[in-house]
Amino acid sequence: MAQDDKTPLFNWRVREQLLSRRILVLDGNLDDDNGTVLMTQLLTLAAEDSEAGISLWIHSLGGSVPAMLAIRDVMRLIPCDVSTLALGLACSAGQFLLSAGTKGKRYALPHARILMHQGSAGIGGHAPEVEVQADDLRYTVKTVVGLIAEDTGQDFDRIYEDSLHDRWFSATQAQEYGFIDRIVDSFGQVIPQRQRVGISK
């Protein structure tokens, strides 16, 4: 009888190997658990070395808005540059974190795809509850759209209109729009540079 469950190949041993090279990975959906892990890893790596860069590799269909906002807050808080890389898909929250990387260090692989949209609200309940939820949704949308506009250099109104419906970008289109700075064409672009120890000439 076939088993649906399988041992994940991208396990904690692999993640620890990447962490030792200051590489973090958002794979799959962003939720409260893996969002908290990414936040604490960013803070820990920054505490260990405040000058060395950190890389965040993204292959994600999106997920939690509170988690993505908190991760961006941490990325802005720490003194380290945070390079971002779209591996295959960077959708919704993945797109948000991709464009939130350090300017000049936001990358995508040549055939990566990026999706921007506002996401779903899931509003329901009695009228007063719906009104409160609607107010919170408006605040969240305004916040997220404003941050994407800040990170991409686009006008707020353009981001708002473009995000009303699913909008897909190729790597080239993502670069033109301002989600990324470069399309990867060399290995050195995606691996954090280690700090050199010793006396430099």
- Return the CATH number at 94: 3.90.226.10
Catalytic-role residue among 117, 120, 163, 200: 117
Q: What is the pLDDT of residue 190?
A: 80
Is 163 a residue of the active site?
no
Is 58 inside any structural domain?
yes
Burial class (CB in 10 A: 0-12, 13-18, 19+), 58: buried
Task: At 66, list the tokens.
Answer: 């509170």
Q: What is the pLDDT of residue 31?
A: 95
Predicted TM-score of the model (pTM): 0.86
Is 44 inside any structural domain?
yes
Is 5 inside any structural domain?
no
Q: What is the mean pLDDT, run by run of 10 residues, along the chain of 201 residues?
A: 60 86 94 96 96 96 95 98 97 97 97 86 50 78 96 96 95 98 90 56 38
- For the chain, how far is it from start to end, CA to CA, in angstroms? 65
Q: What is the pLDDT of residue 200?
A: 41
**How many domains, in total, are found in the chain?**
1
Is 157 inside any structural domain?
no
Is 146 inside any structural domain?
no
Is 179 inside any structural domain?
yes
Catalytic-role residue among 55, 60, 92, 163: 92
Residue 126 CA: distances (Å) to CA of 123, 129, 132, 191: 10, 5, 10, 51
Q: What is the pLDDT of residue 135?
A: 81
Q: State the chain's maximal CA–CA distance in angstroms.
A: 70
Question: Cβ atoms within 10 A of the Cβ of 84, count?
Answer: 27
Q: What is the pLDDT of residue 137?
A: 83
Residues constituting the chain: 201
Is 88 inside any structural domain?
yes
Q: Identify the domain containing residue 109 by its residue range.
A: 12-118+164-187
Is 117 a residue of the active site?
yes
| Closest residue by Cα to residue 181 from 113, 66, 98, 117 | 98
Is 74 inside any structural domain?
yes
Question: What are the contacts of 152-158 at 24+ separation with CB within 8 A?
Answer: 152/99, 152/177, 152/178, 152/179, 153/178, 154/178
Q: What is the pLDDT of residue 121?
A: 47
